[in-house]
Structure 1
Amino acid sequence: MHIKDREFIRGKVPMTKEEIRAISIAKLNLQENSVLIDVGAGTGSVGIEGATYLKKGFVYGIEKNRDGIELIEENLEKFQIKNYKLIFGVAPKDLKEIEKNSFDKMFIGGSSGNMEEIIDFFIEYSKPESDFVINIIALESLGNTLEIIKRKNLKDIEIVNIGVSRDKKIGNYTMMMGENPIYIISGRK
């Protein structure tokens, strides 16, 4: 079920906005029994919305920011999500409980500078033919991530650049105010 941004409890923690979230979740190719790892979970928006599609599946969300952890816990309670385990820490170092071949989807919303190690974890621990989606804002991060993906020989790589503008009322007029453009990289093992 799609969840609107305004429905999430939010603080100062970054959140994947609903238009970007909708495309990112679509690119994950979730199945009802998928197991998703949400890296850099933020407010939990991707993992929580993803969990609503996983009738027989599960989500592991990992977040290093204490404020993010609290927001995710509040949002899990608000949306009554039961198929989600929250991990406080940094990926991949704190994903010790994840066993090999135990998941088939990974969303990376933040890497804390560990992109290559996270991709290595995805390659080693995910099931064959697993899907990944990475959201990136900075051009330097985009270049670095693409270089890593090419070296690791991941398949079916697609890059989409999304620019979203939102309306803002200025007196009797409506202006469109642009959000940061986002690069959505998807592919598979």
Structure 2
Amino acid sequence: MGHIKDRYFIRGEVPMTKDEVRAISIAKLHLRENSILVDVGAGTGSVGIEGSTYLTKGYVYGIEKNPKGCELIKENLKKFRINNYKLIEGIAPKDLDEIKNIGFDRMFIGGSSGSMEEIIDFFIEYSSDDSIFVINLIALETLTEVIDILKRKNLKDIEIVNISVSRSKKLGNYTMMMGENPIYIINGRK
């Protein structure tokens, strides 16, 4: 299936990684057909669900704490007929025991609920060698925190990309550009 436009996802009131940001984030994950992706703070499931379409022999474990988000993920999994995705209803990394020994090789962090360092520690301890992570951030304070954590943990090939997207909106005979929140996309390796 590949890339899925925003308008096809069932959204509700739960935050979703938008179209362009999702495309770049998935590209930075360098998914292989047999990758095992952990989607932390899965929201509506947009990253994990789209990612699962590239994994012909792989699997996605999405974790989400918000009950509304969990329901949206279930609805989106049905809508897109995804069968290589397991939803874990809980908080990372506390509720990730079942994936400690599966040798996952990719992690996307879209939300951390204040546990960013613990999630990164989980990635370091339980992911396979040469694993890749991608973190999406909005707040400058979180960016500063994450940079500090990544430096202390000696992760490799750290890259930070800032993306700002504007979309056209018709106003009468005119077209106006409406800006989305700028997003920081951080990626690196174990």
| Structure-2-length-normalised TM-score | 0.99
Determine if the alignment matches structure 1 residue 123 to structure 2 residue 124. Answer: yes
The percent of aligned pairs where both chains have the same amino acid is: 77
Determine if the alignment matches structure 1 residue 107 to structure 2 residue 82. Answer: no
Find the counterpart in structure 2 of residue 5 from structure 1.
Answer: 6
Cα distance, 1:73 vs structure 2: 0.1
Alignment gaps of 5+ in structure 2? none
Q: Secondary structure at the match of 1:103?
A: coil
Find the counterpart in structure 2 of residue 44 from structure 1.
Answer: 45
Cα distance, 1:171 vs structure 2: 1.0
Whichever residue aligns with residue 29 of structure 2, its letter is L
4+ residue runs over 6 A deviation? none
Find the counterpart in structure 2 of residue 141 from structure 1.
Answer: 142
Q: Secondary structure at the match of 1:62?
A: strand
Greater Cα shift, 95-104 or 117-126? 95-104
Q: Secondary structure at the match of 1:128?
A: coil
Q: Secondary structure at the match of 1:129?
A: coil
| Structure-1-length-normalised TM-score | 0.99
Tell me how far apart the structure 1 counterparts of residues 49 and 102 of structure 2 sit (CA, whole Å).
22
Whichever residue aligns with residue 77 of structure 2, its letter is L
Whichever residue aligns with residue 125 of structure 2, its letter is E
Alignment gaps of 5+ in structure 1? none
Contact 1:100/1:124 (CA < 8 Å) preserved in 2?
no
* RMSD (Å), alpha carbons: 0.6
Cα distance, 1:101 vs structure 2: 5.5
Tell me how far apart the structure 1 counterparts of residues 137 and 143 of structure 2 sit (CA, whole Å).
6
Whichever residue aligns with residue 148 of structure 1, its letter is I
Cα distance, 1:115 vs structure 2: 0.1
